[in-house]
Amino acid sequence: MGITFPAGFSASGITAGLKASGNPDLALVRNNGPRFDAAAVFTSNRVAAAPVHWSRQVISDGRADAVVLNSGGANACTGPEGFANTHATAEYVATVLGVSSGDVLVCSTGLIGEQLPMEKILPGVDAAAAALGTGNEFDGGAAAAAAIMTTDTVSKQAGFTGTGYGIGAMAKGAGMLAPGLATMLVVITTDAVLESAQLDAALREATRVSFDRADSDGCMSTNDTVILMSSGASGTTPDETEFTAGLTEVCVGLAKALISDAEGAAHEITIRTFNAATEDDAVEVSRTVARSNLFKTAIFGQDPNWGRVLSAVGTTQAAFEPDELNVSINGVQVCRKGGVGEDRNLVDLAGRNVLVEIDLNAGMQEASLWTNDLTHDYGHENSAYSS
Active site residues: 183
Q: How are strands ordered across the β-sheet holding 268-276?
A: 339-340, 332-336, 326-329, 353-359, 268-276, 365-372
What Cα–Cα distance (Å) separates residue 15 from each residue in 42, 72, 103, 124, 287? 26, 11, 24, 7, 38
Q: Helices 306-313 and 279-290: crossing angle, nearest 10°?
A: 130
184 within 8 A of 258, measured Cβ to Cβ:
yes
Name the DSSP letter for residue 57: H
CA distance 374 to 266: 8
Measure the CA–CA gap between 204 and 206, rounded to whole angstroms: 5
**Alpha-carbon gap, residue 309 to 273, rounded angstroms:** 11
What's the rounded Cα separation, in Å, for the pair 185 and 342? 43
CB 223 within 8 A of CB 173: no
